[in-house]
């Protein structure tokens, strides 16, 4: 846990201390009047190197374009609380808001709406420098002004503004690590990671999950049994009807029933029986009284029917309720 905390702290530290400019550099009169300057210089123009040796490139027009597209005021806090404290879930209130950006020949400037906490800090002179948090691409070019902070020490030798940068390489590395920890792909966006973190609290209790699976399995089994019973009822109705209509013989019933084991099979047998004509003609045996209660001799007509149907004498006798031959 301590190692993880140290890693996060290191990442937060890496995102700060790039450049710093005196908060009153753009409006010296504001210092005398003990009010917050309306405009502050956020970054110099062009390429520069921070005190820790990192190189940056700032094209103010690019940052202004992004700001205008976002239409969201940029927070100005104390000591990069937005970058550092927010990582640990701590409060990071703004002491002012940057509501407009301008690209000037000497760099990027911001129009500030000061809140009372920010004015109190300026009056106390405890935090004299402005430090911007810049998100950069792989070449070191600034692509987004994330936030800015009042800090006590400058990041480079400039007419006073402390800087904090949101280095995209460090941020990307950390984001990929978070994505992997959440079982997401390394390319997962920040929004996807935040969504996955939010879902952690919604995970189902393992016992509830197992009970749900057991219930689902039992329900599926019951449904399959119900479907099988319904199919058997349909099969019995179909085959009994075919027997009554003399379309099939009793000896064929078992074979047809086997073919109806599935819904598709039932549909095929149904179509087949619909095409069959009556193959068994009435023999009139139902109305005949056998001369001997135990023996009945088949007539020539009976044997012709047996031959047409391709059934044995035993099958014929059984189908017509006759006693077995002696």
pLDDT, one tens digit per residue, over 177-186 is: 787 888 888 7
Q: In this model, does residue 4 exceed pLDDT 90?
A: no
Give the residue with greater pLDDT, 293 vs 196.
Answer: 196
Please tell me whether the overall predicted TM-score, pTM, comes out greater than 0.85 for this model: no
Which residue's entry shows tokens 């404290």? 85
What average pLDDT does the segment 166-173 reach? 49
pLDDT for 155? 55
Asked if 170 and 14 count as a contact pair (C-beta separation under 8 A), the reply is yes
Strand partners, 160: 21
pLDDT for 229? 85
Cα dist from 267 to 234, 235, 239, whole Å: 10, 10, 13
Least confident window among 24-28, 231-235, 243-247, 298-302: 24-28
Q: In this model, does residue 232 exceed pLDDT 60?
A: yes
Highest-pLDDT range among 23-32, 56-65, 274-283:
56-65
pLDDT for 247? 82
Domain-wise residue ranges, the chain: 2-191, 204-280, 282-326
Residue pLDDT, tens place only, 47-83: 987 766 778 899 999 999 999 999 999 999 998 888 8
Asked if 56 and 18 count as a contact pair (C-beta separation under 8 A), the reply is yes
Give the residue with greater pLDDT, 217 vs 144.
Answer: 144
Give the residue with greater pLDDT, 173 vs 298.
Answer: 298
pLDDT for 179? 78
What is residue 24's DSSP assignment?
T
Rounded mean pLDDT of the chain? 77
Cα dist from 17 to 3, 53, 214, 286, whole Å: 23, 11, 57, 108
pLDDT for 60? 96
């Amino acid at each position: 846990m301590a190692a993880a905390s140290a890693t996060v702290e290191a990442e937060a530290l890496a995102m700060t201390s790039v450049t710093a400019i005196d908060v009153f550099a753009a409006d010296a009169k504001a210092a005398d009047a003990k009010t917050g300057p309306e405009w502050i210089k956020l970054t110099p123009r062009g390429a520069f190197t921070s005190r820790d040796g990192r190189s940056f490139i700032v094209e103010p027009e690019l940052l202004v374009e992004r700001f205008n597209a976002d239409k969201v005021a940029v927070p100005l806090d104390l000591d990069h609380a937005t970058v550092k404290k927010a990582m640990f879930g701590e409060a990071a209130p703004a002491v002012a808001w940057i509501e407009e950006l301008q690209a000037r020949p000497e760099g990027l400037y911001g129009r500030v709406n000061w809140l009372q906490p920010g004015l109190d800090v300026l009056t106390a002179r405890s935090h004299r420098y402005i430090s911007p948090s810049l998100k950069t691409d792989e070449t070191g070019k600034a692509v987004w002004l994330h936030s800015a902070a009042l800090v006590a020490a400058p990041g480079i030798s400039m007419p006073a503004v402390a800087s904090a940068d949101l280095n995209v390489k460090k941020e990307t590395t950390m984001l990929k690590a978070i994505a992997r920890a959440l079982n997401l792909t390394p390319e997962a966006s920040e929004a996807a990671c935040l969504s996955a973190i939010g879902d952690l609290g919604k995970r189902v209790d393992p016992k509830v999950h197992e009970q749900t699976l057991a219930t689902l399995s039992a329900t599926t089994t019951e449904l399959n049994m119900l479907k099988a019973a319904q199919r058997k009822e349909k099969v019995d109705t179909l085959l009994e009807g075919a027997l009554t209509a003399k379309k099939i013989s009793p000896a064929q019933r078992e074979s047809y029933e086997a073919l109806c084991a599935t819904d598709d099979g039932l549909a095929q047998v149904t179509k087949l029986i619909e095409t069959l004509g009556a193959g068994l003609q009435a023999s009139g045996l139902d109305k005949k009284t056998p001369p001997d209660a135990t023996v009945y001799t088949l007539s020539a007509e009976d044997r012709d029917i047996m031959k047409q149907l391709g059934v044995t004498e035993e099958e014929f006798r059984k189908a017509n309720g006759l006693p077995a031959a002696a």
